[in-house]
Structure 1
Amino acid sequence: MINLITKLVLKPVAKAIYRPVIEGLENVPRDGGVILASNHLSFIDSVVIPLTAPRRVFFLAKAEYFTGTGLKGALSRALFQALNAVPVERGEIKAAQAALDSALEILREGKAFGIYPEGTRSLDGRLYRGKTGVAWLALTAGVPVVPVALEGPADILPVGKRIPRLRKVTVRFGEPLHFDELHGQARSARARREVTDQVMAAIHELSGQELAEVYNERPMAA
């Protein structure tokens, strides 16, 4: 029922309102496990990709989005379920590995999984260095990676804002990257770095963002 609502209601309404420019839909395999690796500009990225991709895309989302109470909690839960989000705990090393294991299970079931190699949103618009979780997944599951570039989500929902604005958004799906020659080498730090850098280079070619050449670390709380 939820998937029907997404397909018959959310997608048409979102496209009618925002009229997104979507490029490269033919590059997304219609079946089989695949990773959609995207730049990350706004919280709303995880709404834009599922609503514009040609197949269901699963993302990991903070467990808090599924555990709220009252009307707000119910609406949050319904939205993330409609977007095929999978709840995970965040913060610790064990939780990070559990998140990767959840993503791996999704891929082994032949589904599409969305990930942001930068790890967190870019607050200055630059493209940061990718973390190697995307490579671990690709090499362990033996699936292709489709690079994705988003342009405009930060204008729709800037950091600190709660209500989306009407702004133009562009989604570009690049040609799939295959790493068959490195399949099974997920334990190799060198192989993971090589794959991640190729993925980020492809995202950069699609997005044209300025490169930060450092990791995008979350600021420490005061």
Structure 2
Amino acid sequence: MGRPVRDRVRRLREWRPAPPPLPDHLEPVLRDTDPEWFARELAIAAAPPWDGWLLALRRLSWLVDLFGRVEITGGIPDELRRGPLLLAANHVGDFDPFLIAVALHRLGVVPRIMATGGIMSAPVAGPVLERAGGIRVERGTEVARHAVRVTEVALVHGGHVVAYPEGRVGLSPDWWPERGRTGLARLALGVGVPVIPVSQWGAQDVLQYGNDWGKLRTLARSLVRRPVLRVHVGPPVYLEDLRPGRVGDANRARMRIAAAITRGLVPLRAAAAPLRPDPTRPTTGAAAFPGGVVPEDIP
């Protein structure tokens, strides 16, 4: 590889869209020990949605329809679309962020999606996702708290943040959502924003779990078979009786969110074709509500 080619590759890997300026009121938040991306993500979280992201949602959402038939049920009340929202979704595979982004945009919101640090660090795709309002989650590291701060800023500025309570692609043997962690619940209680449950099914047929050539095979197969990609947006989860910091309330909120997502998923799975096995997907997780059965005593 000649030097001109190497230089072009290097410039491509280092390219990123210019972020908006950091507002003065967020300058005191920064510390010398913060990662280099933190200031950018704070500035993006405080700014209105990027025109490039809005254009992509309007003009390129048809690409998702190539890989399946998108069906959307439920909705978001007009008064909630104008304010901050936490949208809590089950995670069935690598394709579902695209599906959820398109579905939510068709319902009138502009999603900012929480994503793993590995995706956000990828060349080209990572910087574009970051500029579109993606929030980097470095799970299990000392900088994981930065995601909470960026999310708080996005919500204070009226953002619509999509989060996965499970914290990963769900790995329960029966594909029902896992209980997840309390991070999203604590965030919802602390900031005091509505939590909208988003249940989705079908995206697992577009991209297999394992990162090998089988991903391309399942992607190509979906172009022919076009599985039904179902998304249901339910009513806000009732959290008004819970308080931040009160013992047990974060866990109660977590279970209510998992219950709402599971309830919304039941009719989607009932209407779907039999589940296609994915031999690359581990089954090491545990469903919050095995079999999709949510007890009546969970509000």
Regarding TM over 0.5, the answer is yes
Give the aligned CA root-mean-square deviation in angstroms. 2.4
Structure 1 residue 38: deviation in Å? 0.9
Residue 255 (structure 2) aligned to one of 197, 200, 205: 197
State the SS of the aligned residue for 2:98: helix
Residue correspondence of structure 1 range 55-204 to structure 2 within 5 A: 55-68=109-122, 73-74=123-124, 76-77=125-126, 80-81=129-130, 84-92=133-141, 94-123=142-171, 124=173, 125-160=175-210, 161-163=214-216, 164=219, 165=222, 166-182=226-242, 185-204=243-262
Aligned residues: 205
| Aligned amino acid, residue 34 of structure 1 | L
CA distance in 1, matches of 2:288, 2:73: 27
Q: Which stretch shows the higher mean deviation, 52-61 or 144-153?
A: 52-61
Output one character per residue of 1:96-140: Cα deviation in whole Å (capped at 9) or x when no partner: 222122211111111111111111112331321131111111111
Q: 1:177 to 1:79 in 2, by over 3 A?
A: same
CA distance in 1, matches of 2:166, 2:74: 22
Task: Name the structure, 1 or 2, with higher relative contact order (CA <8 Å, separation 6+).
Answer: 1
State the SS of the aligned residue for 2:92: coil
CA distance in 1, matches of 2:254, 2:227: 31
8 Å Cα contact 1:149/1:207 also seen in 2 = yes
Corresponding position: 1:12 with 2:62: yes
Q: 1:202 to 1:66 in 2, by over 3 A?
A: closer
Residue 48 (structure 1) aligned to one of 85, 93, 99: 99
4+ residue runs over 4 A deviation = none
TM-score normalised by the chain length of structure 2:
0.62
CA distance in 2, matches of 1:22, 1:159: 24
TM-score normalised by the chain length of structure 1:
0.81
Output one character per residue of 1:128-167: Cα deviation in whole Å (capped at 9) or x when no partner: 1131111111111111110111111111111124333332
Structure 1 residue 187: deviation in Å? 2.0
Mark the runs of 5 or more structure 2 residues left unpaired by the alignment: 1-50, 270-285, 290-299
State the SS of the aligned residue for 2:72: strand
Mark the runs of 5 or more structure 1 residues left unpaired by the alignment: 215-222
CA distance in 1, matches of 2:199, 2:72: 10
Structure 1 residue 66: deviation in Å? 4.0
8 Å Cα contact 1:10/1:51 also seen in 2 = no
Percent identity over the alignment is 26
